Amino acid sequence: MAGISGSGAVSGIPVVDLSTFLAENDGAAVGDEIRNQKKKAIMEVVKEACSVYGFFQIVNHGVPLQLMDRAFQVSAQFFDFPLDEKLTFGSRPGATLPAGYNRHPFDCPDKHKNDYLFLLRPSNPFFVAYPAKPPHLREVAEEVFTSLIETGSLIEGIINDSLGLPCGLLKQELDSDSSWDFMLAHRYFPEIDGVTNGLTAHEDSNAFTLLFQDDVGGLEVWRNGEWIPVTPEPGAIVVNVGDLIQVLSNNKFKSATHRVVRPKGKSRYSYTYFHSVSVEKLVEPLPQFTEEVGELPKYRKFRFGEYLHLKKMGVVHPPERPEDIIHVTHYSIN
């Protein structure tokens, strides 16, 4: 099928080539009919991937591969600094968003994930200055952030069209010009003494997520009672649907459960961009998937910040019973 490639399709998670979209933006002389056929094929693949897995990978996405490699280099340099030095760029105690350097508490289920940088757009009111060292970290991180925002805008349009929504509606609903998007640079330590947990099973709360990982791997998606590895594709970016899209689409697209497994003998590095909305945003299924098609809404209206708070409390004070962990189904209408 046009626009599809790569080994990721072996596990059922497709790899989508976005060069058709970028060629159009560059004004390349490609016949409209051929371009539209390719775009339609890609939309069908994305629609199926988001309905079944909530995951797909993209290549020829416009983010320079040299930039991705350089991003891994500067984050590795930073994470190798002594702890005391990294903590000088730590998040502010009690901050709404943990901007800056973070380590998980030892009693946290994800304690072995250990190191990460929480980076915000400078326009965000909770912005904390980037670490001053290594010298090029800020320059590279800001360039990565800018590139992923641009790619996110493209993905937003593709998801919008794959859902059959009017042009630009998803952008309007997600308030794409807000400053609430953020990025994480991670280092996961190797497996030690048989402990393989890097990031426990979860769904992303935001609209959608873009991630690029090194060749170590470890990302897995839950599907039909088994964990399916998202095999690193050279130069690829992983896209996964978040809770906001699941709610807006009234369950047409799936917010997938996923985790990170720590590999043996080698640390894993990744960058993750979260396309989100303001904490004041009211969220509910779109009328295109409810009243306009004669279906009942599967979620009641809720404020996004309230949902984030409930999830945060579940991390700080984990419930004794797994069934009491907060998911977006907390707002389901039975």
φ/ψ region of 272 (left if φ > 0, alpha if ψ in -120 to 50, else beta) reads beta
**3-class SS of residue 324:** helix
Residue 268: how many CB atoms within 10 A of its CB?
23
Q: Residue 226 contacts by C-beta under 8 Å, 6 or more apart in sequence?
A: none
Rounded to an integer, the average pLDDT of 263-269 is 87
**pTM confidence score:** 0.90
Residue written as tokens 């969220």?
283
Kindly report each contact of residues 127-131 with a partner whose C-beta sits within 8 Å and lies 24 or more positions away, as own/partner.
Answer: 127/99, 128/89, 128/91, 128/92, 128/99, 128/100, 129/89, 130/89, 131/78, 131/86, 131/89, 131/101
What are 200's two structure tokens?
């426990």
**What whole-number distance in Å separates Cα of residue 73 and Cα of residue 124?**
26
φ and ψ at residue 26, rounded to 5 degrees: -85, 0
Alpha-carbon radius of gyration of the chain: 20
Q: What is the pLDDT of residue 27?
A: 52
Q: What is the pLDDT of residues 43-102, one digit of tens each?
A: 999 999 999 999 999 999 999 999 999 999 999 999 999 989 998 888 776 666 778 888
Rounded to an integer, the average pLDDT of 187-209 is 86
Rounded to an integer, the average pLDDT of 130-157 is 92
